[in-house]
Chains A and B, each alone.
Chain A
Amino acid sequence: MNILTIPLRNTWRKPTRTLLLLLVFTLGVMAIVALYQVSLVIGDGMEKKLSTYGANILISPGQEKLSVSYGGLHLGDMLYELQPLSEEKTVAAVRSIELKNRISAVAPKLVTMATVNGTPVAVVGVRWEEELLIKSYWATDGAYPEEQNEIVIGRTAALNLGLAQGDTVRLFEQPFRVSAVLLPTGGDDDNVILVDLGRLQAITGQPDGVSFLEVAALCSGCPIDDIVTQIRAGLPGMDIKALSNVVSQRMASIHFVQRLVLSISLVILVTAATMVGLSMLSAVNERKKDIGLLRSLGYSKGRVFFIFCLEAGIIGVLSGILGYFSGFGASFKTLSLLAMAEGARPVFEPGHLLLTCGIIGLVTIIAAAYPAWKGASIEPSQALLAL
């Protein structure tokens, strides 16, 4: 029997009211926890999906540029000492950085020029598996190549060259079959012929050579700058650029989801806290007699304040525990209903449970602080008028 006996007993004095309050707050916590877990999983999934809409890091050979003009005539910028990259070494370097688990795709490319029926056209060698990871938005008339002598051709290039799906075309004096025509993308891909990278490297006599690499990195857990710095450390002398607008657009989408969850959580929390505050306010009014009695027995204002805050805190911590587990369970159901988990699952972390209980307990205590102080400030004489 100590001071805790009073709030503990009072909590169960009116079980219906306590259970309703507990239910309201538990539902609030449940909604917040479920939203948080769902947002984590969806955010992760969304980022993976977004990364398929293009790369966010570009790796190209280091370039020395010389601006040439003579006799007042500007001849433009000239690149010199431009060396092709080694595909094996570059890919290995990218895949071995500290944040390698944040790299979702590394797509090397070899760009060269060719002539088809007397018309010049750009030919790009790609690794199909990696390329399709970052170009999931491509749509084709036909199927992607399965053989090394199959190519995909951009819509504009196909029109210029008069080619269609299933045609055979001579490229570098070798026959290739057009396995698919890209539907318009609105980008550079419309104007090029896409060939298997290994085949192009062999034809052009550049085994292992690539012109540049596109990298798709997942950035919700780390800044893109960190990834770029680590790649740069592994590939000295190379030109590594973060496509910041792509990153920022991608992060904006993730942050939007996170901000939405935070806003909804805050509204729920404030609503639930208001309920606790109102409930405590009515409890103070109902229990003026008890306050008067406690004060007549020498309980200080601080002790009366403590009793009321503790009552709210008990509701808060209990709601935190119940709400966390029910919210955690609800997140599985929500994810399955939304079909957006992409195989990911919410992860239980004891630290999160403790943090939730602590925060919710604190919120309820803060919500109860004013009514508790109001109750504690009642003079015994005022409280005794109720007797």
Chain B
Amino acid sequence: MLKAVNITKVFKNEGTEVQVLSKISLEIPQGEFLALVGRSGSGKSTLLNVLSTLVRPDGGELLYNGNKVTAMPDKKLNQLRHADFSVIFQFHHLVPYLTALENTLLPFMRSIKPASREMVDKAKQCLERVGLAGKENRLPGSLSGGEQQRVAIARALVKSSRILFADEPTGSLDKATGESIMHLLGELNRDGMTVIMVTHDPEYAQLADRSIHMEDGRLVS
């Protein structure tokens, strides 16, 4: 379970302080599909980044399975990002000079020891599951936006992540592709993965178990 308690975040820009998150508290149980909705600039992406440990909050506490994430040293944070958390971005960011298969296996390419045969097979299965069978050796540049987003999802799958953070995963995709990605996220959630998704599309937010609305860095409903 992921729990945020009185999370605050302030951005400084040319001497001006902007309060992006104001005392946000929420609990996300394992297996939930949560949608963070709100207008642009409401602070939903910042909250997602804080929850996924990519941004350190200025105040408050973040707890994962009872452990204080905000007090964790870098080494443990890295381990958490490696093992339990996965993030997919609006612009489905992949390493452009690695193939789809290598991008999927990226979490397991952190050392000199090569990724095991089993892991390579699992990565291929995950690519197959997201509909990319036969495209393992393609570079991101030769894949469509939807296919690239699927590679990012396959990467979360191969890690067996417990929580998938998705920042506007359909934001740069056409409607049909966006729907197929949402379908895939729903499928992963039904398999037990917690999904926390930022979206400004109410239609996609309805697919989640719960929607949280944000305005000016606060939860409003």
Interface: B111 (CB within 8 A): yes
Contacts of B155 in A (CB 8 A): 297
Q: Do residues B74 and A381 form an inter-chain contact, with CB atoms below 8 A?
A: no
Extra 14 A-B pairs, beta carbons < 8 Å, given A289-B93, A384-B49? A1-B114, A2-B111, A2-B112, A9-B97, A295-B81, A296-B52, A297-B81, A297-B107, A297-B155, A298-B83, A300-B74, A381-B54, A384-B89, A387-B93
Q: Do residues A296 and B87 form an inter-chain contact, with CB atoms below 8 A?
A: yes
Question: Lowest 4 CB-CB distances: which A-B pairs, in order?
Answer: A298-B82, A298-B81, A381-B55, A13-B97
List A residues 369-387 near B (Cβ within 8 Å): 379-381, 384, 387
Nearest chain B CB to A11 CB, angstrom units? 9
Q: List 21 A-B contacts (CB under 8 A).
A: A1-B105, A2-B112, A2-B113, A3-B109, A3-B111, A5-B102, A6-B109, A9-B97, A9-B102, A290-B95, A295-B54, A297-B82, A298-B83, A298-B110, A299-B78, A299-B110, A301-B74, A303-B110, A379-B56, A380-B55, A381-B49
Q: Do residues B74 and A387 form an inter-chain contact, with CB atoms below 8 A?
A: no
Interface: A136 (CB within 8 A): no
Nearest chain A CB to B49 CB, angstrom units? 6
Interface: B131 (CB within 8 A): no
Contacts of A203 in B (CB 8 A): none
Interface: B2 (CB within 8 A): no
Contacts of A300 in B (CB 8 A): 74-75, 78
Q: Do residues A1 and B93 form an inter-chain contact, with CB atoms below 8 A?
A: no
A293: contacting residue among B55, B93, B112, CB under 8 A: B93
Contacts of B81 in A (CB 8 A): 295-298
Contacts of A301 in B (CB 8 A): 74
B115: contacting residue among A1, A290, A296, CB under 8 A: A1
Q: Which residue of B lies closest to A380 (CB)?
A: B54
List A residues 298-312 near B (Cβ within 8 Å): 298-301, 303
Known contacts A10-B97, A384-B54: A3-B112 contact under CB 8 Å: yes
Interface: B91 (CB within 8 A): yes
Most buried by B among A295, A297, A300, A384: A297
Q: Which residue of A lies closest to B159 (CB)?
A: A297
Known contacts A298-B78, A387-B91: A13-B96 contact under CB 8 Å: yes
How many chain-B residues does the 8 Å CB contact rule pick out? 38
Contacts of A387 in B (CB 8 A): 89-91, 93
Q: Do residues B112 and A4 form an inter-chain contact, with CB atoms below 8 A?
A: yes
Q: Which residue of A lies closest to B98 (CB)?
A: A9
Measured between alpha carbons, how far is A379 from B56 in the docked complex, in Å?
10
Measured between alpha carbons, how far is A265 from B12 in the docked complex, in Å?
48
Interface 0/1 of B93-134, CB less than 8 Å to A: 111111001100111111111110000100000000000000
Q: Which residue of A lies closest to B82 (CB)?
A: A298
Interface: B79 (CB within 8 A): yes
Nearest chain A CB to B197 CB, angstrom units? 16
Contacts of A299 in B (CB 8 A): 78, 110
Measured between alpha carbons, how far is A381 from B94 in the docked complex, in Å?
17
Interface: B80 (CB within 8 A): yes
Nearest chain B CB to A291 CB, angstrom units? 11
Q: Which residue of B lies closest to A1 (CB)?
A: B115
Contacts of B112 in A (CB 8 A): 2-4
Nearest chain A CB to B120 CB, angstrom units? 7
Nearest chain A CB to B38 CB, angstrom units? 19
Measured between alpha carbons, how far is A4 from B81 in the docked complex, in Å?
21
Measured between alpha carbons, how far is A277 from B190 in the docked complex, in Å?
49
Measured between alpha carbons, how far is A143 from B98 in the docked complex, in Å?
79
Known contacts A1-B105, A1-B120: A298-B80 contact under CB 8 Å: yes
Most buried by A among B55, B94, B106, B120: B106
Contacts of B52 in A (CB 8 A): 296
Measured between alpha carbons, how far is A349 from B52 in the docked complex, in Å?
55
Nearest chain B CB to A6 CB, angstrom units? 7
Q: Do residues A293 and B95 form an inter-chain contact, with CB atoms below 8 A?
A: yes
Nearest chain A CB to B68 CB, angstrom units? 19
Most buried by A among B93, B120, B155: B93
Contacts of B75 in A (CB 8 A): 300
